[in-house]
Structure 1
Amino acid sequence: MIESIDIKDVATYDNQGVQINDLKKINFIYGANGCGKTTISNFTYDNSDPKFNSCSLTWENELPLKVLVYNKEFRIRNFGKGKLNGVFTLGEATADQIKVIEQKSEELKTIKADGIQKRETLEKLKADKLKLENDFKEATWIKVYKKNENNFKEAFIGSLQKESFKNRLLQETTTNTSPLESFENLREKAKTIFGQQPQKIEPISQISFERILEIEKNEIWKKIIVGKADVDIAKLIQKLNINDWVNQGREYIQDDICPFCQQRTITDDFKKQIESFFDETYLNDIKLLKELKEEYSTIALNIVNQLNTIEVNQKAISNSKLDIDRFSAYLKTLLSQNTTNSEYLLNKIKEPSRSIELFSIKEQSDLLTELIFQANQEIKKHNDIVTNYSREKNNLIKAIWKYLIEEYNAEITAFNNQKSGLDKGIANLDSQYKAKLLEQKKLDTEIKELSKNVTSIQPTINEINRILKSYGFLNFKIVPATEDGFYQILREDGTVAETTLSEGEITFITFLYYMQLAKGGISEDEVNTERVLVIDDPISSLDSNVLFVVSTLIKEIIKNIKADTGNIKQLILLTHNVYFHKEVSFIDGRTKFCNNTNFWILRKNEKVTSLQSFGMDNPIQSSYELLWQELKSEGIKSSLTIQNIMRRIIENYFKLLGKYGDDDLILKFETKEEQEICRSLISWINDGSHSVSDDLYVELQDRTIESYKKVFKDIFVLTNHEGHYKMMMNLEEETI
C-alpha cells in the first residue's frame, strides 16, 4: 500500500505543499473543483513526470504495487482512440480452475506476508545493530576519549571523531600486541615524548680540494720558461733578460717593419731566428701554463661558492651543528689566499720566465673539511635521535591504546558479542528473505501461466453490457472489435457510437470499463496482480440514478478491500460532490469509525492548496452542514469564497420556506451598502437555477468579510430565524 504522498512545487501546491500521511486501506479526500485533486491523481499515475520532481510517494515495506488511476486523463487515454483495450478476467474458467488459482493466490498471499514479516524483522535487526553501534560509539567517546583526552590526546590524532575513535578502539583490540603498562608510567612518558618533535637535519655536502691542491704543486709555476739557447739571437735576449718582452713583441711583427723602431729592419733571417728561439717546448709550456691557470680559477670559484652557500644555510638553521664562527674565519683566510694566488697566476701568464710559488690552501682546506666532518657527525647523532624518537613515540601510542582496550575490555567484549549475534541473525534472515522472494516469484509466474489458460475479454463485455442494460442504457452496447483484444461501442443499428455519446454516457461507460480493469488486466498475466485504485471524481456529468450505481460499485470494492478479498489492496477516492462523498463513505448507520479508513479535506485559499486531516472521523455529514462548517472555518480569507458560501446557505434554507421576496429582505436593511450585499446573497430568488453543488462566483469590490458576515447574520435575525443561526454557528445562548 501507499503510506504517504508529498505534493509540492506543482500546480496550486507551494514549496511547502501538503503531506498526506498515514494512508489506510480506504481513503477519502474531499475538495472543491480546482483545489488540486487531479494533481494528486496524475502524480500517482506517473510520478516520473519532471513537473513532479519535488513530490514523493512512500510505499509500505518499500514494496510498490500497480496503481490504476481513474480521472479525466484516463477517459482520454482509453476512450479517445475509438476502441478500448480488452480486459482479461477469469470469467471462462471452470470452478476447479478458479479454485486452483484462488488456492495459489492465497498461498502467494501467505508467502508475501511471511516475506514482509521477515523483511520487517530484518530491518529491525539492522536498526538494533545501528543503535548498538551508536550507543557504543557514544559510550566510548565519553568513557574512553574524554576521560583520557588531557593526558593522551597526541595518541588519538587521526581518530578525533566519534566514529573513527570507535573504529580505532575495535581495531586495536584485535591487532595490538604491545606489553601492558601502568597509567602513571604512560603519563610520565607522554609528558616527555608528546612535546615538540625534533626534525631531521640534512648533512652538509663534503667539498673536494684534491684537484686544486694538485695544481698548486705543479712544477710549471717555478719553471723559468725561456727560448732556445743555441740560436744566435739567444745570447742577446738572455743577456738583456728580455724573453718575455720579445715574446710579447712577436705578436706585433708585420712584414719587415720592426714593431719597436718602426724601421725596415726585420729580415727573413731575423724572423727565422725569433721563431727558432721560441720553439715547440716553449709553446707547450705556455699552453700548459694557461690551461692550469684556467682550471685553477674555475675550481677555486666553485669551491668558494659552495663554502659561501654552506655558511648562509647553516646560519639560517637555529640548531646548526657547524661551528659557524670558525668556519667563517677559515673561509675568510681561504678567500684571501685565493685572491693572492690569482694575482700570482696572472703574473706568471704575463711573464713566463718568472718563477712563482703559490700559497698553499691545504691548511685552510683541511680545517674547513674537518669542521664539515665534525658537523656531519653531530648531524648524524641528531638524526639518529629523531629516528629513535619516532620509534619511541609509536611504541608509546601503541602502549596507550593497549592500556585503553584492557581498561575497557568488558564493554568491548560485550559489544562484540552482541554485534556478532546480530550479524549472524541478519545474515540468516537476509538469506531467508531472499529465498522467500524467489519462492514468491516462482509462484507468481505459475499463477500467471494458469491465468493465461482461463482468461478472456468476453466476461468483461458481458458484465458491462449487463450493467448498462440494468440502468436503462439500451441504445448502445460493448462488442469485440475486429482487431483481437479490443472493444468497440456500437449503436443498435451497428454503427460506431463513440462520437455520438453524451458526456454522461461517456463518463459512465468509461467508469464501468475502469471497474472491470480494476478486477482484471490488459494482458493475461496481469489478472492477479495486486493493485491500488486512485479514483478522482467519477460522477461528473452523471445524474442522481447513475451516481447511486457508481457509489454502489465502489462500495462493493471497499467491502472487498476491508475483507482482504481479491487483488485490490487500497483505495484513494477524491471527490468534490458532497452527496456522493456521503453516500460512498456510509458504513452501516451504527458504526461511526473504521480503523481501515481515513478522511481529508483539500482547500484552496489565495491560490494555494492546503490539507486538513480528520483521521477516522468523517467530516462530511451533509452538504448543508458542510457549508456551515466552511463558514465557521478560520482559514477562509477570500471575500469571494465567503460570499458564495453564504449565498448557498441562504438558498438552501430559505428555499424550504419560500415566502420571502428579494425586496422584502433587502428593504429590511437601512444602509445602501447592506442592501447591495443582501441583494447579491439572495439572487437565487430571481433565477432559481443554482443548487448547493454549483459554483457561482460574485465578487464585490471593497467589501470586507465582516460586512458579509453582518448582513448574513441580520438576514436570519430580521426573518425571525436567529435560533437556527445560533444552532448552526454553535452560539447556543449567546446574544446575536
Structure 2
Amino acid sequence: MLEKIEIKKVASFNDTGIQINGLKKVNFIYGANGCGKTTISNYLHNNSEDKFQNCTTNWKNTQALKTLVYNKEFRERNFGKGKIGGVFTLGEATTEQIATINEKVEELKIIKADGVKKRETLNTQIQKKETLENNFKETSWTKIYKKYETVFKEAFTGSLQKESFKNKLLSEFSTNTKKLETFDELTEKAKTIFGKVPQSIAPINAITFDKIIEIESDPIWKKIIVGKADVDIAKLIQKLNLNDWVNQGRNYIQEDNTCPFCQQKTITDDFKKQLEDYFDETYLSDLNTIKTLKEEYNSLMNNFVNELNNLETNQKSIPETKLKTDRFSAYLKTLINHNTVNGEYLNNKTKEPSRSIELVSVKEQLALISELITNTNEEIIKHNKIVANFTTEKISLTQSIWKYIIEESRTDVVKFNADNNGLQTGNTALQGQLTAKLKEFSDLDIAIKNLSKNVTSIQPTINEINRLLKSYGFLSFKIEPSLEEGFYQIQREDGTIAEATLSEGEITFITFLYYLQLAKGGSLVENVNDERILVIDDPISSLDSNVLFVVSTLIKDIIKSIKSDTGNIKQIILLTHNVYFHKEVSFIDGRTKFCKETNFWILRKNDKFTNIQTFIMENPIKSSYELLWQELKSENVKSSITIQNIMRRIIENYFKLLGKYGDDDLIQKFTTKEEQEICSSLISWINDGSHSINDDLFVELQDRTIENYKKVFKDIFKLTNHEGHFNMMMGISELIQPVEEIISSIQNN
C-alpha cells in the first residue's frame, strides 16, 4: 500500500512541490481543473519517465503493488485502435473450483501477512545492527583515529573515512600477528619511514689511535735524561742540576774558545772534550727520540682533531644524521683540551730532557669517540637497509602500528564483535525464515495461477459490461469478442464497429466500465488474482448526472470491499474536480462522520504553482456553496481576484435564494462612499456586463483590497440581519462575546 507521494519539479509543481502523507486505504483528493491531478495520476501510472525523476513514492514494507490508473490517457491507450484488450476473470469455474481458489487466496494472504511480520522483525534487527555498527564506527574514529592522526596518519592511508577505518580495524583485529612494540619505538620508526622518503647516509670512517696511545705510553717521557756520570765535570753539573742549562749552552761555544756564559776565553780543548764525553751518544739519542716522538704525536693529534672537527661539521649539516652530535661535540672538546695540555708537556720535555713528565691520556676520549662512531655506523646501516627496503619496511611498520592500536582497543572490539555476531546470527536465521516464507508464497501463488488458467475467460467481462450498459440505458451498442482472440470490439446492433460514432459521454462510460473489470480481473490469465491499488482521476467527465450516480455507486462498492479487506484491491486514490461527485462517492452513511481508513486532501493552484492541504479524516467537501465558504476561510487562498470571486458567488447564491435583496438594496445598506464602491465591485459581477473598466481599476489599485473586501462582505450580512448565517459558515461561535464588548460592559458597570 502507498504511504506517501512526493511530486515536484514537473508541470505546476515547483521545486518544493507537494507531499501527500498519511495515505490510507481510501483517499479523496479534490482539486479544480489544471491544478495537477492528472500529473499525479500519470506519475503513478509510469514513474520511469524522465520528467518524473524528482518525484518519489513510499510503499508500506517497501512492497510495491500493481497500480491501475484511470484517466484521460487510459482511454487513449485502450480505445484508439478499433479493438480493446481482453480482461480475464473467473468465468467458467464451478462453485467448488472458485471455493478452492478463494481458499488458497485466503491462505496466500495469511502467508503474506506472516512474511510481512517476519520482514518487519528482520528490518528492526537490521536497524539495530546498523545502529551498533554506526556507534562503533563513531567511537573508533573518535577514540583511535583522532588520537593518533598526527603521529600515525600515514599508516591509516586507505582508511581515512569513518567506514573504511572501522572495517580496517576489524580486519586487522582478526589477522594481525605482528609483535607488539611500544609507542616510543613506533614513533621513532615513523620519523624515518613516514613522511618524506628517506635517503641513504654515508657511513663514518672508523678511527684508529693505536700509534697515539703508543707514543703517549713511551717511557722516554718519564726518563730523566742526563750526561755521563764518570766524567770529571759530571759531579759539578749534576750537583748543581745544570744538565739542561749546560746542554743548551754548548750550542753557543765559539771557535775562539770564548765561554758563552762568562764571555772569557776559558774554554779549553780538555773542557770541550769533557762536555762531549758527558753529553755522549746515549744522551743525544734520547734527545732525538723525544724530538721525533713529539713531532709525530703533534702531527697525529692535529690531523685527528681536524678530521673530527670536519666530521662534526658535516654531520650537523645532515638532517637525518644518526650521530649523537651533542655527545660527540662534548667528547671532542675534552680531547682538544687534553691535546693542548699534552702539547705544553712535550715542549717542556724537549727544553728540559732531565725533567720527567706524564702525558694526559687521550685513550678514554678516543675510545668514547670511536664507540660513538661505531654505534652511529650501526644506525646508519639500519637506516640504509630501511631505505633499500623502504616499501617492505613501511608495510611492516604500518602493521606494527595497527597491532598496537588493536591491542589498545581490544575490549571495545571484542564487545562489538560479540554483539554484532549475535545480531548477524539472528538476522541470518530470520532471513532464512523469510526466504522460506517467500518460497511458500511463490509456490502457492503459482498454484493459484495454474488453477485460474483452467477457469478464466474474457466472456464474463463481456457479459458484465453489456449488462451494465443495458441497465443504464446505453442500448445502441455493446461489446463483443473480436476476431483476434483475447480482444473486444464495440459494435452497433447491426454488427458495424461503433467506436468512431460514440459520443464523448458514451466513450467515457464504457471506458470506465472496462477499467472496473480490469481492476477486478486481469489483462493476463496469470495476474487475475494479483493484489493492486486503483488510481481514478475524474471518471465522470462528459457524463450525465444520472450516470454520475451510477459511477459513484460502482466506486463505493469497491471502497466497501477495500475497507473490509475482501478481494484483491487494497487501496484507492480518487481525484476529482466535481463537488457533487466527490460528495456522493465519499458519503458513508447518515450517522458516521469519520472513517479511520479514509483521508481527504484539497489541491489548489496559487501563483501558478500547486499546493496541497490535508484534512485527514474530515471531509472538506459538503456542497458547492459550503466549499466556497471553506475556500474563503482557507489561509492558502491569497489572490485578491480569487477572494473577490468567492465572495461574489456566495452573495449571488445566498441573496438570490432569499429573493429579497437586489443589488441596490445591498449597496444602500452602507453609509460611506468607499464602502458602497467596494460593495458595488463585489456584486456588480452578478449581472453580466454590469461592471466597467473603472470599477476594475478602482478595486485593483487598492493596497488593502482583501481586508476591505472581507469587512464589507461581513457587513453585507450584518446590515441585512444575516450575521448569524455568516458566523455559522465562518465557524464563529456566537456564544463567545468579543473582548471589546466585555471591557465596555465592565467600564459601564
Give the structure 1 partner of residue 12 of structure 2. Answer: 12
Give, in whole Å, the separation in 1 of the partners of 2:47 and 2:418: 45
Give the Å deviation of 1:10. 1.0
Does the CA contact (< 8 Å) of 1:189 and 1:396 recur in 2? no
C-alpha spacing 1:499/1:646, structure 2 compared with 1 (3 Å) = farther
Give the structure 2 partner of residue 75 of structure 1. Answer: 75
Give, in whole Å, the separation in 1 of the partners of 2:478 and 2:502: 11
Paired amino acid for 2:200: I
Give the structure 1 partner of residue 458 of structure 2. Answer: 457
Give the Å deviation of 1:608. 0.4
Give the Å deviation of 1:607. 0.7
Give the structure 2 partner of residue 718 of structure 1. Answer: 719
Give the Å deviation of 1:625. 2.5
Does the CA contact (< 8 Å) of 2:89 and 2:456 recur in 1? yes
Paired amino acid for 1:607: K
Give the Å deviation of 1:709. 2.4
Give the structure 2 partner of residue 21 of structure 1. Answer: 21
Give the structure 2 partner of residue 111 of structure 1. Answer: 111
Give, in whole Å, the separation in 1 of the partners of 2:106 and 2:64: 19
C-alpha spacing 1:681/1:392, structure 2 compared with 1 (3 Å) = closer
Give the structure 2 partner of residue 3 of structure 1. Answer: 3
C-alpha spacing 1:157/1:446, structure 2 compared with 1 (3 Å) = closer
C-alpha spacing 1:51/1:190, structure 2 compared with 1 (3 Å) = closer
Does the CA contact (< 8 Å) of 1:200 and 1:383 recur in 2? no
Matches within 5 A, 1:244-643: 382-387=380-385, 401-402=402-403, 404-643=405-644
Give the Å deviation of 1:135. 1.4
Give the Å deviation of 1:603. 0.9
Give the Å deviation of 1:394. 7.6
C-alpha spacing 1:126/1:320, structure 2 compared with 1 (3 Å) = closer
Q: Determine whether 1:31 maps to 2:31.
A: yes
C-alpha spacing 1:79/1:396, structure 2 compared with 1 (3 Å) = closer
Give the Å deviation of 1:681. 4.1
Matches within 5 A, 1:695-706: 701-702=700-701, 704-706=705-707
Give, in whole Å, the separation in 2 of the partners of 1:568 and 1:394: 63
**Residue range with higher mean Cα deviation, 36-45 or 550-559:** 550-559
Give, in whole Å, the separation in 1 of the partners of 2:24 and 2:151: 57
Paired amino acid for 1:387: K
Give, in whole Å, the separation in 2 of the partners of 1:160 and 1:78: 57
Partner of 2:34, secondary structure, is coil
C-alpha spacing 1:432/1:580, structure 2 compared with 1 (3 Å) = same
Give the Å deviation of 1:196. 5.7
Partner of 2:565, secondary structure, is coil
Give the Å deviation of 1:524. 1.9
Give the Å deviation of 1:657. 0.7
Give the Å deviation of 1:673. 6.8
Give, in whole Å, the separation in 2 of the partners of 1:546 and 1:132: 60
Give the Å deviation of 1:8. 0.9
Does the CA contact (< 8 Å) of 2:186 and 2:401 recur in 1? no
Give the Å deviation of 1:35. 0.8
Paired amino acid for 1:488: Q
Paired amino acid for 1:548: F
Does the CA contact (< 8 Å) of 1:151 and 1:190 recur in 2? no
Q: Give per-residue Cα distances to partners, 1:286-337, cap 9 Å, x unaligned.
A: xxxxxxxxxxxxxxxxxxxxxxxxxxx999977799xxxxxxxxxxxxxxxx
Partner of 1:538, secondary structure, is coil
Q: Give per-residue Cα distances to partners, 1:538-573, cap 9 Å, x unaligned.
A: 122223322222111111111111222111111011
Does the CA contact (< 8 Å) of 2:186 and 2:400 recur in 1? no
Give the Å deviation of 1:407. 4.5
Give the Å deviation of 1:593. 3.1
C-alpha spacing 1:23/1:561, structure 2 compared with 1 (3 Å) = same
Give the structure 2 partner of residue 87 of structure 1. Answer: 87
Partner of 2:443, secondary structure, is helix
**Residue range with higher mean Cα deviation, 492-501 or 41-50:** 492-501
Give, in whole Å, the separation in 2 of the partners of 1:149 and 1:2: 49
Does the CA contact (< 8 Å) of 1:193 and 1:393 recur in 2? no
**Residue range with higher mean Cα deviation, 131-140 or 166-175:** 166-175
Paired amino acid for 1:384: K
Give the Å deviation of 1:451. 1.6
Give, in whole Å, the separation in 1 of the partners of 2:69 and 2:177: 66
C-alpha spacing 1:171/1:656, structure 2 compared with 1 (3 Å) = same
Q: Give per-residue Cα distances to partners, 1:583-641, cap 9 Å, x unaligned.
A: 22223344433332222111110110001122233222333332112112222122221
Give, in whole Å, the separation in 2 of the partners of 1:76 and 1:172: 63
Give the Å deviation of 1:433. 3.0
Does the CA contact (< 8 Å) of 2:152 and 2:190 recur in 1? no
Q: CA RMSD in A?
A: 3.7
Q: Give per-residue Cα distances to partners, 1:114-154, cap 9 Å, x unaligned.
A: 333333333333222211111122233344455x5499646
Paired amino acid for 2:542: S
Give the Å deviation of 1:31. 1.1
Give the Å deviation of 1:448. 2.1
C-alpha spacing 1:501/1:150, structure 2 compared with 1 (3 Å) = closer
C-alpha spacing 1:62/1:151, structure 2 compared with 1 (3 Å) = closer
Partner of 1:569, secondary structure, is strand
C-alpha spacing 1:454/1:676, structure 2 compared with 1 (3 Å) = farther
Give, in whole Å, the separation in 2 of the partners of 1:610 and 1:442: 45
C-alpha spacing 1:469/1:46, structure 2 compared with 1 (3 Å) = same
Give the Å deviation of 1:112. 2.5
Task: Give the share of equivalent positions with the same residue, in percent.
Answer: 65
Give, in whole Å, the separation in 2 of the partners of 1:9 and 1:67: 22
C-alpha spacing 1:52/1:385, structure 2 compared with 1 (3 Å) = closer
Give the Å deviation of 1:506. 2.5
Paired amino acid for 1:617: E
Structure 1: tracts of 5 or more residues without a match: 205-312, 322-374, 689-697
Q: TM-score, normalised by structure 2?
A: 0.67
Give the Å deviation of 1:98. 0.8
Give, in whole Å, the separation in 2 of the partners of 1:496 and 1:398: 83
Give, in whole Å, the separation in 2 of the partners of 1:411 and 1:55: 43
Give, in whole Å, the separation in 1 of the partners of 2:678 and 2:497: 53
Q: Give per-residue Cα distances to partners, 1:4-52, cap 9 Å, x unaligned.
A: 2111111110111111122222111111111111110011111122222
Give the structure 2 partner of residue 57 of structure 1. Answer: 57
Partner of 1:200, secondary structure, is coil
Partner of 2:64, secondary structure, is coil
Paired amino acid for 1:501: L
Does the CA contact (< 8 Å) of 2:620 and 2:630 recur in 1? no
Q: Matched residue pairs, number?
A: 562
Paired amino acid for 1:201: S
Give the structure 1 partner of residue 252 of structure 2. Answer: none
Give the structure 2 partner of residue 201 of structure 1. Answer: 200
Partner of 1:118, secondary structure, is helix
Does the CA contact (< 8 Å) of 2:202 and 2:380 recur in 1? no
Matches within 5 A, 1:661-700: 661-669=662-670, 678=679, 681-682=682-683, 686=687
Give, in whole Å, the separation in 2 of the partners of 1:476 and 1:197: 91
Give the Å deviation of 1:478. 3.0
Give, in whole Å, the separation in 2 of the partners of 1:522 and 1:161: 51
Give the structure 1 partner of residue 290 of structure 2. Answer: none
C-alpha spacing 1:197/1:440, structure 2 compared with 1 (3 Å) = closer
Give the Å deviation of 1:454. 1.2
C-alpha spacing 1:541/1:702, structure 2 compared with 1 (3 Å) = farther
Does the CA contact (< 8 Å) of 2:88 and 2:456 recur in 1? yes
Partner of 1:11, secondary structure, is coil
Q: Give per-residue Cα distances to partners, 1:422-467, cap 9 Å, x unaligned.
A: 2223333333333433333333233222222212222222222222
Give the structure 2 partner of residue 41 of structure 1. Answer: 41
